[in-house]
């Protein structure tokens, strides 16, 4: 039996199971890769919001990373919640090393707040994300709020997405995927490396249960990159996967429910 591609997520834990490490590993399983994890923070979190956040020491993050990478190896890495300046800088250094050693692509989801609006990144860490983390990224996947925090560019219409992408690319990622899900109308994203442009559109589903969409999309991109897809192919497939997961999202608790990471199993897809 062949060994599946190995994908590492470096992110926080969501005790409610809808986002973070839990969403990442579910996505990776659904797309046929072996998921591995480096935990950066623990959250007390449910459908109503985040009740508490406890970041791990940089030493613990570094030890988890070394333990996995030095023994098992990795074909792609995805980052999510990094919480603090120290963790951003620690992870950025580890990613630069992995890129040089394995040539593994890196998907950076610059998580700033939860779906409920709870802060998951210290304001002081924004500069470290810009100068240390984004330059390691094969693909950066900010939503419109994250674009505004990182670059100051505010997107109000689809025509603003190019300007947002240029501002993100100026910080060093090879590709920027600007997620336009907060705009009115169809869910439209722009993927560009500054030369090529790929406009990705999907119908907007009447479903409020969208917890974990950003984590899920970034993890799906990493999974497809680990399987040898090009960046445009990986992002296009990941967009299709997350669109289906949103359509199948379900209520859980009293607030915002999760997307359904296993929707393809239930509809007979592959």
Phi-psi region of 254 (alpha: psi -120 to 50; beta: other; left: phi over 0): alpha
Catalytic option among 78, 115, 179, 239: 179
Q: 212 catalytic, yes or no?
A: yes
Q: Choose among 77, 86, 166, 175: nearest CA to 134.
A: 175
| Pairwise CA distance, residues 171 & 193, whole Å | 12
Q: Find residue 191's DSSP bridge partners.
A: 177, 198
One of 9, 141, 151, 210 is an active-site residue; which one? Answer: 210
HEC profile of the chain: CCCCCEEEEEEEEECCCCCHHHHHHHHHHHCCCEEEEEEEEEEEEECCEEEEEEECCHHHHHHHHHHHHHHCCCCEEEECCCECHHHHHHHHHHHHHHHHHHCCCEEECCCCECCCCCECECHHHHHHHHHHHHHHCCEECCEHHHHHHHHCCCCCCHHHHHHHHHHHHCCCCCEEEEECCCCCCCEEEEEECCCCEEEEEECCCCCCCCECHHHHHHHHHHHHHHCCCCHHHHHHHHHHHHHHHHHCCCCCCCCCCECCCCHHHHHCCC
Catalytic residue, chosen from 212, 244, 249, 257, is 212
Any catalytic annotation for residue 141?
A: no
Of 40, 78, 112, 215, the catalytic one is: 215
Residue 179 is a catalytic residue: yes
Q: Which of 16, 112, 214, 249 is catalytic?
A: 214
Q: How far apart are CA 183 and CA 157, in angstroms?
A: 7
Please tell me which residue in 90, 151, 213, 243 is annotated as part of the active site: 213
Q: Is 210 a catalytic residue?
A: yes
Residues annotated as catalytic (active site), given as ranges: 179, 210, 212-215
């Amino acid at each position: 039996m062949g060994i599946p591609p190995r994908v590492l997520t470096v992110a926080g834990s969501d005790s409610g199971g809808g986002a973070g490490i839990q969403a990442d590993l579910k996505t990776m399983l659904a797309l046929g890769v072996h998921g591995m994890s480096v935990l950066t923070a623990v959250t007390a979190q449910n459908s109503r919001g985040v009740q508490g956040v406890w970041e791990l020491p940089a030493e613990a993050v570094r030890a988890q990373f070394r333990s996995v990478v030095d023994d098992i190896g990795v074909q792609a890495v995805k980052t999510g919640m990094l919480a603090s300046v120290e963790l951003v800088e620690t992870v950025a250094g580890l990613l630069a090393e992995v890129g040089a050693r394995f040539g593994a692509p890196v998907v950076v989801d610059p998580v700033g707040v939860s779906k409920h609006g709870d802060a998951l990144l210290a304001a002081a860490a924004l500069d470290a994300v810009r100068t240390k983390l984004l330059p390691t990224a094969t693909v950066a996947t900010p939503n419109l709020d994250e674009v505004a925090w990182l670059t100051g560019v505010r997107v109000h219409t689809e025509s603003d997405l190019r300007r947002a992408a240029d501002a993100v690319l100026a910080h060093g990622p090879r590709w920027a995927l600007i997620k336009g899900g907060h705009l009115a109308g169809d869910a439209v994203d722009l993927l560009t490396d500054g030369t090529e442009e790929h406009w990705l559109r999907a119908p907007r589903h009447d479903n409020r249960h969208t917890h974990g969409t950003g984590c899920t999309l970034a993890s799906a991109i990493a999974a497809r990159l680990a399987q040898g897809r090009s960046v445009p192919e990986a992002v296009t497939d990941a967009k299709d996967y997350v669109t289906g997961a949103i359509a199948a999202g379900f209520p859980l608790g009293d607030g915002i429910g999760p997307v359904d990471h296993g929707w393809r199993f239930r509809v007979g897809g592959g």
